[in-house]
Amino acid sequence: MSANLLSAETSPYLLQHAHNPVHWRPWGAAALEEAQRLDKPILLSIGYAACHWCHVMAHESFENDETAALMNAQFVCVKVDREERPDIDHIYMSALHALGQQGGWPLTMFLAPDGRPYFGGTYWPPEPRWGRPAFRQILEGAARVFRENRKGVAENGAALTEHFAQMSAAAPGGAIAPQTLTAAAHAVLGQMDPVYGGMGDAPKFPNAPIFRFLWQDYARTEDARAREAVRNLLNALCEGGIYDHLGGGFARYATDAQWHVPHFEKMLYDNAQILELLAFAHADQPSPLYAERARETVAWLLREMAGPRDAQGDAAFAAAQDADQEGEEGLFYTWRAEEIEQALGAQAQAFMQAYDVRPRGNWENRNVLRRLGPHGAPPEEAALARSRATLFALREKREKPARDDKILADWNGLMIRALARSAIAFAEPAWLQAAQAAYRFVMANVRDGRGHLAHAWRGRVSAAGQLDDYAAMTLAALALFEASGDTACLDDAIILAATARAKFGDADGSYFQTSFDAADVPGARPRHARDNATPSGAGMMAQAFARLWLLTGEATWRDQAEALVSAFSGAGPALVQSPTLLGAVDMLERGATAVVAGDAGAQPLLALARAAPDPALAVLHAREGEVFADDNPAHGRAPIGGKAAVYICRNMTCGLPIADAAELANALSLTASRV
């Protein structure tokens, strides 16, 4: 069929390409069958809606009639939204890395008709430049290789497929010792930027899973270096240009080492993980800066990222906001100095000095706002806040960047967990209500025809559920249970965890990324525990099992967590790439449960326990009259003198009851003596 078939899809990214002259197909069995029937190679293009260079390549090549004709004649052309199909993206990005090339998007891969890769790259320009050949040259070369060297194509595809199969094998080993956690933390600390915060040089990513592990390592060891690394990162993010100082929210990464110029797209997963880190750090040592950024970011989330409401009035959160506006990266977010002078009048000079606004711009003749220098006295800060409000109102009149409004279960799970914790840490109960609404939406709507959790939804389900979805939503359910005491959420978590075991678990205790019944995943089922910009599904699943054990006392959950960890523990030094999995190890070794027994006077104690800065602490409210199993940490715990009391339980042993709030705060402090 000679036509572009994307118009029936729901992905905003695929719909961006629905009117290209390229005869795009969505990923699936039909596209693979067509390639085999026609004996044509597949040109696989993977990107996402908020990707700047994806837009550039689309405009330069996919919208060009001559280039499209060449693509259509030589290839079966397939488009994939990496956010909708992270499993397919993982397979072919791994193949690109195996070819010795740096990854990124757009990802362009050339496949044999059976789906095996034989060549690939990322962005190619329409004409030779920057040392890169033209895209048409690449097309002609890839087609010629397929025609003239089928043996080489087959051998290359087989080698890459075998490489991926080896990458997807479990790496069994024994228990992970505490010194392994320490070694991993020290290895990461050695990569810190002591001047600007964060890791490495440009481009600079928040690397939230790594810093969450460092925070947990600080809770484990009281190593001040880990604490300071996290706070240095958060300070840099909160003051740098990567943060939207007018509208709230963090961009995906900075193009420079100083966190000044962002790649302007805003992703739900980044903001979720940074919000949670702000909550942990604020609970440890209250910070007006962290509180302000958290409130501004949640305001952005509720204003810009809320999805459609369902019949019950609930809404989850959209995936991303675009980097581009009117075809220009960052245009919506940046300013000319004269615009600010005209808008702010007498207040302009103070604002320009505070936010690095220069007459000729601080980036490509425009200004990216970033906060310079220390914060001033309250009257000065109030004046700056009024100036920000004025500029925000002016900016709201601009055409806004596009939004990728699909609902992803795993990213929503991350945000639900962050909101649940932040609602307590920053004393914002409305945030908990927003988290509960998003949770209800996902659980009610992001389901396939069999009632199983799905991955992507935009009016209808467009991708099956993967391990990351089940793991993130299990942790979200547990976060809501701990924050609210709603036992229905605990019940949900148990069902999700058990279903994940059935759909993704292997006999060796490891977990695959895709379900056993996934019909359109070529080659070996992906399996790994490595974190990327988001925590790995395996790592999150291990943490979910560990947390279920802390909350229920049921040994089967600990057994599953230990088996999952053991399935990947033989990775040796590469375990440093799995900080979320290592966090689960710490929870099994050191995790504790704060059991708040009783109702009278329980709320202040619950608030303290729920806001505790230790990620390895679970919170369980044992209401009066509830009956618990013998192995549950709440079993036998009772109020003292008719007043609620808190028992901190670790390794099946509970400490003495604590009824005084000040005493509890001291016990929960990360610098207090261990129970």
DSSP string, 548-579: HHHHH--HHHHHHHHHHHHHHGGGGGGGGG-H
Q: Is the pLDDT of residue 37 over 80?
A: yes
pLDDT digits 0-9 by tens, 334-372: 999 999 999 999 999 999 999 999 999 999 999 999 999
Average pLDDT, the chain: 95
pLDDT value, residue 102: 83
Q: Is a pLDDT exceeding 80 seen at residue 325?
A: no
- pLDDT tens-digit map of 500-526: 999 999 999 999 999 999 888 888 899
Give the separation between CA 546 and CA 506, rounded to whole angstroms: 18
pLDDT at 1: 61
pLDDT digits (tens, 9 = 90+) for 152-199: 989 888 898 888 888 889 999 989 999 999 999 999 999 999 999 999
The pLDDT of residue 329? 85
Q: Read off φ and ψ for residue 594, nearest 5 degrees.
A: -90, 105
Cα torsion through 101, 104, 110, 111, rounded to 10:
100
Q: Which long-range contacts (CB under 8 A, 24 or more apart) does 650-659 make?
A: 650/590, 650/591, 650/592, 650/593, 650/675, 652/553, 654/595, 657/597, 658/605, 659/601, 659/605
Query: Which pLDDT does position 482 carry in this prediction?
Result: 98
Residues paired with 335 in a beta bridge: 367
Interval 216-253: pLDDT, tens? 999 999 999 999 999 999 999 999 999 999 999 999 99
Question: Does the pLDDT at position 672 exceed 70?
Answer: no
Q: What is the 3-state secondary structure (H, E, C) of 604-650?
A: HHHHHHHCCCCCCEEEEEECCCCCCCCCCCCCCCCCECCECEEEEEE
Residue whose pair of structure tokens reads 């910070």 in the numeric block? 287
Per-residue confidence band for 447, with pLDDT thresholds at 50, 70 and 90: very high
Query: CB-hemisphere CA count at 13 Å for 122?
Result: 16
The confidence band for 255, taking pLDDT boundaries of 50, 70 and 90, is very high
Each residue's pLDDT tens digit, 523-569: 889 999 999 999 999 999 999 999 999 999 999 999 999 999 999 99
* Mean pLDDT score, 573-599: 97
C-alpha 431: how far from chain center: 19
For residue 103, what pLDDT is reported?
85
The predicted structure's pLDDT at residue 52: 87
Q: Judging by DSSP bridges, how do beta strands 328-329 and 324-325 pair with one another?
A: antiparallel
Q: Is 430 exposed, middle or buried (0-12, 13-18, 19+ CB in 10 A)?
A: exposed
Query: What is the arithmetic mean of pLDDT over 453-469?
Result: 96
pLDDT at 136: 96
Segment 452-469 shows an average pLDDT of: 96
Confidence tier at 204 by pLDDT (50, 70, 90) = very high
- The total number of residues written for the chain in this structure: 675
How far apart (Å, rounded) are the C-alpha atoms in residues 602 and 646?
Answer: 9
Alpha carbon distance 484, 433 (integer Å): 10
Burial class of 642 by CB neighbour count within 10 A (0 to 12, 13 to 18, 19+): exposed
Calculate what percentage of the chain has a pLDDT beyond 90: 89
Span 109-162, pLDDT tens digits: 999 999 999 999 999 999 998 778 999 999 999 999 999 999 998 988 889 888
Cis peptide before 41 (omega within 30 of 0): no
Tokens of 552: 């229920």
Query: For residues 654 and 637, is the Cβ–Cβ distance under 8 A?
Result: yes
| CA distance readout (Å), 625 to 593, 622, 638 | 20, 9, 10
